[in-house]
């Protein structure tokens, strides 16, 4: 622990929390994730705190105030566990970057601990139930409308956004991603039954579990208003199918049909198959847009973080393989054998 | 005989991984692990870097050449320019991965334009036939470049 940093944090917390006797008993950085830097702050009394700092360079653009506001808002939604949001600090002084503080919640997000857990199915069912509650919560009543903009056409808003990211950050041509983008624009999905709160990064490893219990949903920084199928499709991506022995298990939990059926029961919404395929393809584009942003920032010298070039190196081609297979399944491209038959 | 670069880099991966496991410091452990992965990726990339790009160039050039005769004049001229710029002269420096990457990227730019046009004009027999071959090439390209997750 950096004594200097701990001293500064202690001084800050005494004032901000109006606890002049407070003592910081431990401070350490938690590694993992590519957007905000995270510190655990142990204090002498009460729950430990988590400080989420704005990064100098991030994998994606995010708004701290929105994320903090959502933690606050979601605390009022029964059945959606989130950490208690404590304060949002614009002053970079205490930690060197603006940050927000929340209570530390017991649990882990680790797939290494999830896979052998005897409670894996229970955890999966709870996590799907929670996503259903997010999809159907009354965001107007929660005040989320003050934080987020309601899109006229969710599909167009998201497609425009992620195409723009690809345009801005691609380091070379991406023929498959471009083919998918063209198909998405030519084949918009049916409109959603309702404009919902979309977490934006809801997936295995972005919620904590402790034994059989899901204890917190984290990482709300990409939250927005839109089509609830967006969250479902993002979680269904191949990227998060951590059970290598059973890659058909969505999020390392259930086969696709069972997974979708459980979400429909939890949300009371219908997952239109064509719409779900559209959003799944959009999710692949979104994933690739995020990966290439990392490479772009490294290539431009904005960061020396060696994880940044590794991410697109590992994922971009694989993501294109997955998205082309999905495009074939959606009827947007011939299958390999059919495509090759003409050559 | 010289040891291949991939073998040396894989050795670095093993070394970094061992150092990472022995480190008591969270920060050092994380950084060393990333360095190890990076070295392993470089090792694989060193083996396939030139081969993949050469294969891609050899697959794209005939498609763009056929496209020149199918698409309207303005796009046709752009495709021809891409072909001219990537023709290659046989100089040894053209075998550098960065040079191969530049040629491949230039051809891929043309390919993206060509396929977009063909999709809009698939009612035409010649366009439809070439489009089918473009899709075949996309599948082949994905197979060529697919990289297993670690």
User: Looking at A45-49, A56-60, A66-70, B37-41, which range is the least confident one?
Assistant: A56-60
How high is the pLDDT of residue A93?
76
How high is the pLDDT of residue B50?
85
Q: Which residues of B touch A343 (CB under 8 A)?
A: 132-133, 136
Mean pLDDT: which of A31-40, A108-117, B34-43 is highest?
A108-117
At residue A87, the 3 state secondary structure works out as strand
User: HEC states along A154-186?
Assistant: HHHHHHHHHHHHHHHHCCCCCHHHHHHHHHHHH
Residue A250 bridge partners (DSSP): A254
Contact A320 B145 (CB under 8 A): yes
Interface residues from chain B to A (CB-CB < 8 Å): 26-27, 30-31, 34-35, 37-38, 41, 45, 101, 105, 108-109, 111-112, 115-116, 119, 129, 132-133, 135-136, 138-143, 145-150
Mean pLDDT: which of A6-10, A20-24, B49-53 is highest?
A20-24
Q: A184 versus B90: which is more confidently predicted?
A: A184
Contact B136 A336 (CB under 8 A): yes
Q: What does each C-alpha distance from A73 to A36, A68, A103, A136, A196 come to in angstroms?
A: 20, 9, 15, 14, 14
Q: Which tokens is B37 given?
A: 């992965």
Average pLDDT, integer, range B5-10: 73
> E strands of chain B, at which residues?
none
* ipTM score of complex: 0.87
Average pLDDT, integer, range A169-194: 95
Cα separation, A263 vs A254, in Å, equals 11
Interchain CB contacts (distance < 8 Å): A and B:
90
CA B12 and chain centroid, separation: 25
pLDDT beyond 80 at A2: no
Average pLDDT, integer, range A118-126: 98
Average pLDDT, integer, range A160-178: 96
When scoring A186, A326, A338, A339 by the number of chain B Cβ atoms within 10 A, the one with the most, hence best to mutate, is A339
How high is the pLDDT of residue A173?
95
Average pLDDT, integer, range B86-114: 92
Residue of B nearest to A33 (CA): B30
Cα separation, B65 vs A229, in Å, equals 42
Contact A310 B105 (CB under 8 A): no
Average pLDDT across chain A, whole number = 91
pLDDT beyond 80 at B27: no
Average pLDDT, integer, range A172-189: 97
User: Looking at A92-101, A240-249, B63-72, B137-146, which range is the least confident one?
Assistant: A92-101
Q: A342 versus A191: which is more confidently predicted?
A: A191
B36, B13 Cβ separation under 8 angstroms = yes
Cα separation, A175 vs A335, in Å, equals 17
- Residue B147 banded pLDDT, cuts 50, 70, 90: low
At residue A100, the 3 state secondary structure works out as strand
Q: Which tokens is B63 given?
A: 């498609």
Contact B108 A175 (CB under 8 A): yes
User: Looking at A83-92, B114-123, B128-137, which range is the least confident one?
Assistant: A83-92
pLDDT beyond 50 at A140: yes
Q: What does each C-alpha distance from B114 to A209, B11, B78 come to in angstroms?
A: 49, 43, 10
Q: Which tokens is B31 given?
A: 């950084």
DSSP code for A192: P
Contact A28 B138 (CB under 8 A): no
- Residue A342 banded pLDDT, cuts 50, 70, 90: very low
How large a percentage of chain A has pLDDT more than 70?
94
Q: Find the CB nearest B38 among A306, A321, A334.
A: A306
How high is the pLDDT of residue B150?
41
Contact A324 B108 (CB under 8 A): no
Average pLDDT, integer, range A293-308: 82
Residue of A nearest to B45 (CA): A313
Residue of B nearest to A239 (CA): B149
Q: What is the dihedral of CA A253, A256, A259, A265, to 10 degrees?
A: -170
> E strands of A165-296, at which residues?
196-198, 207-210, 213-217, 224-226
């Amino acid at each position: 622990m950096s004594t200097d940093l701990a001293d500064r944090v202690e001084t800050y917390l005494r004032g901000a929390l109006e606890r002049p006797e407070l003592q910081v008993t431990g401070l350490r950085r938690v590694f993992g994730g590519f957007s905000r830097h995270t510190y655990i702050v142990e204090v002498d009394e009460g729950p430990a705190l988590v400080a989420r700092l704005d990064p100098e360079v991030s994998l994606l653009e995010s708004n701290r105030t929105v994320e903090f506001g959502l933690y606050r808002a979601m605390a009022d939604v029964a059945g959606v566990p989130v950490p208690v949001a404590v304060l949002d600090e614009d002053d970079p002084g205490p930690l060197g970057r603006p940050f927000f503080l929340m209570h530390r919640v017991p649990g882990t997000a680790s797939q290494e601990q999830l896979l052998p857990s005897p409670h894996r199915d229970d955890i999966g069912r709870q996590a799907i139930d929670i996503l259903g509650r997010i999809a159907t919560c009354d965001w107007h009543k929660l005040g989320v409308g003050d934080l987020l903009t309601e899109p006229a056409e969710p599909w167009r808003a998201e497609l425009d956004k992620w195409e723009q990211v690809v345009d801005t950050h691609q380091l070379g041509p991406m023929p498959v991603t471009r083919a998918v983008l063209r198909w998405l624009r030519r084949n918009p999905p049916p409109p959603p039954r309702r404009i919902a709160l979309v977490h934006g990064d809801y997936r295995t490893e972005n919620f904590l579990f402790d034994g059989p219990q899901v204890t917190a949903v984290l990482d709300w920084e990409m939250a927005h208003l839109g089509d609830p199928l967006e969250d479902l499709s993002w979680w269904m991506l191949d990227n998060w199918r951590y059970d290598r022995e059973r890659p058909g298990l969505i999020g390392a939990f259930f086969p696709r049909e069972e997974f979708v059926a459980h979400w429909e029961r939890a949300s009371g919404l219908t997952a239109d198959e064509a719409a779900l395929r559209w959003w799944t393809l959009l999710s692949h584009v979104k994933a690739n847009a995020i990966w290439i942003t990392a490479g772009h920032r490294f290539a431009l010298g904005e960061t020396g973080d060696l994880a940044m070039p590794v991410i697109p190196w590992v994922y971009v081609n694989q993501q294109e393989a997955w998205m082309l297979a999905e495009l074939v399944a959606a009827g947007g491209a011939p299958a390999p054998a059919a495509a090759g038959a003409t050559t | 005989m010289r040891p291949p670069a991939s073998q040396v880099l894989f050795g670095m991966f093993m070394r970094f991984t061992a150092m990472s496991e022995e480190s008591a410091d969270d920060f050092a452990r994380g950084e060393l692990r990333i360095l190890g992965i990076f070295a392993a990726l470089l090792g694989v990339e060193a083996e396939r870097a030139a081969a993949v790009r050469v294969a891609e160039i050899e697959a794209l050039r005939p498609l763009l050449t056929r496209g020149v005769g199918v698409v309207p004049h303005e796009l046709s001229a752009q495709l021809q320019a891409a072909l001219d710029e990537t023709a290659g002269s046989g100089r040894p420096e053209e075998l550098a991965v960065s040079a191969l990457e530049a040629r491949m990227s230039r051809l891929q730019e043309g390919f993206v334009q060509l396929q977009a046009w063909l999709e809009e004009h698939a009612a035409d027999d010649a366009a439809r036939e070439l489009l089918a071959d473009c899709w075949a090439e996309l599948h082949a390209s994905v197979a060529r470049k697919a990289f297993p997750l670690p």
